[in-house]
């Protein structure tokens, strides 16, 4: 990658972010990991399990950090990306996956030594969606997809917007919702005045 763009700097950390020690370090890198030693502009999640997604969700809610979640289904023929802005959109805990809502242990769905979501074409398409929307967000052009799905069997691309759940189990999500509601309430009111012109014709009273 540096051969393509020598100005790019990479910082890698190979660890499990769901442990307390690693989670604290992960939080610190989001807060101070930019080139200016401040918060990063955007977090991209490309993990493959619910626990790691929840860890990223918790960190981003607590830090008020905008991020993208992405994933490919267990059968490898569908996937999605989701834009998350704490307080404004649903967080990952606001609408948990069906597997979680059904109290199914995610570990029972994965066979040892087998990567379920291993179809390169599906992963490539979802990755393309993620990168394209990252560019739109960072460079401020076009419309960022709030949620964009992909069903390879039907060539179906569902889109939607998801509002935050007021009863979300995630504490910092609820706090962000309260802060955003106060921000919206403090915005200057905009009033519109409409003028209606009635044209009368001699033929119509």
> Which residues are known to be catalytic?
115
Q: Residue 44 forms beta bridges with which residues?
A: 68
Any idea what the Cα angle at residue 18 is, between residues 102 and 164, rounded to 5°?
A: 55
Tell me phi and psi for residue 84, to 5 degrees: -125, 120
Taking every pair of Cα atoms in the chain, the longest distance, rounded to a whole number of angstroms, is: 85
**10 CB burial (10 A radius; 0-12, 13-18, 19+):** exposed
Distance of CA 27 to the CA centre of its chain: 17
Tokens 């519109």 belong to residue: 192
Structural contact between residues 39 and 22, judged by C-beta atoms closer than 8 angstroms: no
Structural contact between residues 65 and 83, judged by C-beta atoms closer than 8 angstroms: no
């Amino acid at each position: 990658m540096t051969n393509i763009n020598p100005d790019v700097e990479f910082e890698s950390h190979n660890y499990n972010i769901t442990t307390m020690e690693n989670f604290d370090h992960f939080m610190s890198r989001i807060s101070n990991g930019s080139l200016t030693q401040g918060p990063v502009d955007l977090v991209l999640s490309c993990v493959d399990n619910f626990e790691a997604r929840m860890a990223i969700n918790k960190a981003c809610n607590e830090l008020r950090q905008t991020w993208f979640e992405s994933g490919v289904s267990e059968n490898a023929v569908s996937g999605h990306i989701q834009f998350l802005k704490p307080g404004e959109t649903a967080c990952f805990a606001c609408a948990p996956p069906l597997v979680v809502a059904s109290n199914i242990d995610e570990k029972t769905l994965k066979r040892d030594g087998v990567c379920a979501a291993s179809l390169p074409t599906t992963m490539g398409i979802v990755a393309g969606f993620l990168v394209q929307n990252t560019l739109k967000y960072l460079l401020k052009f076009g419309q960022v997809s709030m949620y964009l799905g992909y069903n390879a069997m039907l060539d179906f691309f569902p889109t939607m917007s998801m509002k935050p759940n007021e009863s979300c189990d995630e504490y910092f999500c609820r706090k962000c919702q309260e802060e955003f509601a106060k921000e919206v309430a403090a915005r200057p009111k905009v009033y519109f005045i409409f003028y209606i012109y009635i044209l009368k014709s001699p033929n119509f009273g």
